[in-house]
Amino acid sequence: MQHPDEGTIHSWLDGALTPEETSAIEGHVASCAECAAVVAEARGIRAAATRILSALDDVPAGVVPTPDYFADVRAAEAASVAHRSARRPLWARPGVRAAAALIAVGGLSWAVLRSSGRVSDAGNTPMAADSMSVGSTALSALPVPDTPEVERVDQRDLAQRRATARTTNTRPRTNGPAPAMKRAQDAQSATIPERDLRQAAELEDRRRADSALRLESIVATAAPEANKSAVAGAGVGAAATAPTQQPMAAPAAPAEPPVPRIVIDRGYVDSVLAADSLETADTYLAGGRAPAAARVAAPQSDRAARSETRSETRSEARPSGSPTMMRAQGCWLLETSPWSPRYRATDTLRLLPRRIELMLDRGIADEAGERLVRPAPGEPALPIGATGIWRVIATNQVRLTIATHDRWTTVTLTVGDDSLSGTARAYSNVDRLLRRATVSARRVVCRTEP
């Protein structure tokens, strides 16, 4: 036999050769030192390639759906079928929807499993202890049946979504005894402080908004009838404070889909759910009262007052927000520590202005409760094409994201009394290198715009 080429050696190592070819190459390599060296190198390259590719994974390995997971999906689907089957058109038959729901919840469960995995990983470090306790509380506190939000949004779609989110959220990452764990978590939720419950409720809202959109984007488009009710459901929540949400959502609903079709439209679903979840988060915090009541109690600067006045004349912008949002909005002078690893001297575009203004104005896309952030009046403008958004991510916590097409900076800040503190992270779209700096800020008066 001739010396095998590298392709043949890799085919052999991959087990892709016929038995005859395999025995031929084995015999040759056993007697040819040169080829044995090539094979050894090929083995090394093969292993190295696998290792390099595994660095790309942020998907935990070995995550598989547990058996009761499908039972949950079927139960939810059965309930839904009983409710709707009388008026269901052909294209929305149970099979189609079951399939869509199955896959949607699969993705959802995946995401949730991943996030719970993250929480447990984070628990390995002392600095993550807080987030771990909040995270696990969130999981245990998910079944909160009597929330104001449920009263407001009496939609079976939403209830079903909640039910499926609950079952998937409480499932452990490994194939452990899910029901036992659920019971333990239920027991735990009965004893945890109310403050934690509220934090958990808020976290759950964010998680729900994120996971629900997966379900909704699929179920809604596979069954436009369900879509309408889902839109109406989210709209009910938003309608009290945001009547303009409804028209914005309407065009996204498929008018006449003759064939079930998936339209992964995160933007649309986000915008429908965002108003609901955002308001709900702080409605929880305000003890279930309307956000407006909470706003009165929140400290307000002149800027906030002006913004609220403006809100009455610009209904489409609806510049109002949760207590955290109202406390955070305004102008801030940032003090940023040196970045780590430090920027190269040539890299001047750092995307974190010295003075910023957190505005109550919504962005054009109006995604997920985003508001605009910009350099405070008098500061140099952001590069052309850059966008800045901020949003409330938890009680007394906001996150800023300033981005151009190829890089971005996020700043997660805890909102104190006229101060902000937290961490900035800078990313490059190209190589995704991460830089970090600590940031503190004090409130400053926004200069009058020229």
Using CB under 8 A as the binding rule, the residues of this chain from 257 to 276 that contact other proteins are: 260, 262, 264, 266-267, 270
Min dist CB 420 to other proteins, Å, is 16
Asked if residue 426 lies in contact with residue 350, where contact means CB atoms within 8 angstroms, the answer is: yes
Asked if residue 13 lies in contact with residue 42, where contact means CB atoms within 8 angstroms, the answer is: yes
Min dist CB 296 to other proteins, Å, is 31
CA–CA–CA angle 151, 369, 229 (5° rounding): 45
Nearer to other proteins, 58 or 146 (CB): 58
Query: Distance between CA 26 and CA 16 in Å, rounded?
Result: 14
**Position among 2, 19, 87, 124 found at the interface with other proteins (CB under 8 A):** 124
Of 168, 389, 386, give the one whose Cα is nearest residue 274: 389
**Position among 250, 378, 429, 445 found at the interface with other proteins (CB under 8 A):** 429
Instruction: Decide if residue 75 touches other proteins (CB under 8 A).
Output: no
Contacts 24+ apart (CB under 8 A), 288-295: 288/148, 290/240, 290/241, 291/241, 291/320, 291/321, 291/322, 291/323, 292/241, 292/320, 294/322, 294/323, 295/320, 295/321, 295/323, 295/326
Concatenate the DSSP letters of all residues of 389-414 into one string. EEEEEETTEEEEEEE-SSEEEEEEEE
Min dist CB 2 to other proteins, Å, is 15
The token pair at 50 is 């696998």
Asked if residue 374 lies in contact with residue 389, where contact means CB atoms within 8 angstroms, the answer is: no
Min dist CB 341 to other proteins, Å, is 7
Instruction: Decide if residue 405 touches other proteins (CB under 8 A).
Output: yes
Pinpoint the alpha helices (H) of 85-193. 94-122, 129-140, 148-152, 156-169, 178-191
**Position among 218, 220, 269, 275 found at the interface with other proteins (CB under 8 A):** 218
Which residue has tokens 């004349």?
A: 313
The token pair at 347 is 């890299």
Nearer to other proteins, 50 or 448 (CB): 50
**Position among 168, 227, 307, 412 found at the interface with other proteins (CB under 8 A):** 412
Min dist CB 55 to other proteins, Å, is 4
Asked if residue 287 lies in contact with residue 280, where contact means CB atoms within 8 angstroms, the answer is: no
Amino acid in position 126: P
Min dist CB 330 to other proteins, Å, is 22
Interface size with other proteins, residues (CB under 8 A): 82
Mark the segment that binds other proteins (CB under 8 A) among 78-86, 107-115, 284-292, 350-358.
107-115
Nearer to other proteins, 99 or 150 (CB): 99
Q: Give the H/E segment covering residue 292.
A: helix 291-297
Nearer to other proteins, 52 or 381 (CB): 52
Give me the torsion for CA of 367, 111, 392, 227, rounded to 10°. Answer: 40
Question: Within positions 51 to 70, which residues make up the interface with other proteins, using CB under 8 A?
Answer: 52-53, 55-59, 61, 63-65, 70
Min dist CB 44 to other proteins, Å, is 8
Question: Within positions 375 to 404, which residues make up the interface with other proteins, using CB under 8 A?
Answer: 387, 389, 393, 399, 401, 403
Instruction: Decide if residue 6 touches other proteins (CB under 8 A).
Output: yes
Q: Is 288 helix (H, G, I), strand (E, B) or coil?
A: coil
Instruction: Decide if residue 290 touches other proteins (CB under 8 A).
Output: no
Instruction: Decide if residue 369 touches other proteins (CB under 8 A).
Output: no
**Position among 37, 40, 78, 121 found at the interface with other proteins (CB under 8 A):** 121
Nearer to other proteins, 2 or 191 (CB): 2
Min dist CB 393 to other proteins, Å, is 8
Min dist CB 46 to other proteins, Å, is 6
Question: Within positions 149 to 208, which residues make up the interface with other proteins, using CB under 8 A?
Answer: none
Of 326, 327, 325, 383, give the one whose Cα is nearest residue 352: 383
Distance of CA 198 to the CA centre of its chain: 19
Question: Within positions 130 to 149, which residues make up the interface with other proteins, using CB under 8 A?
Answer: 131
Mark the segment that binds other proteins (CB under 8 A) among 9-17, 23-31, 237-245, 352-360.
9-17
Mark the segment that binds other proteins (CB under 8 A) among 118-126, 177-185, 296-304, 330-338.
118-126
Query: Distance between CA 329 and CA 318 in Å, rounded?
Result: 14
Mark residues 300-339: x for contact with other proteins by CB under 8 A, - for none. ----------------------------------------
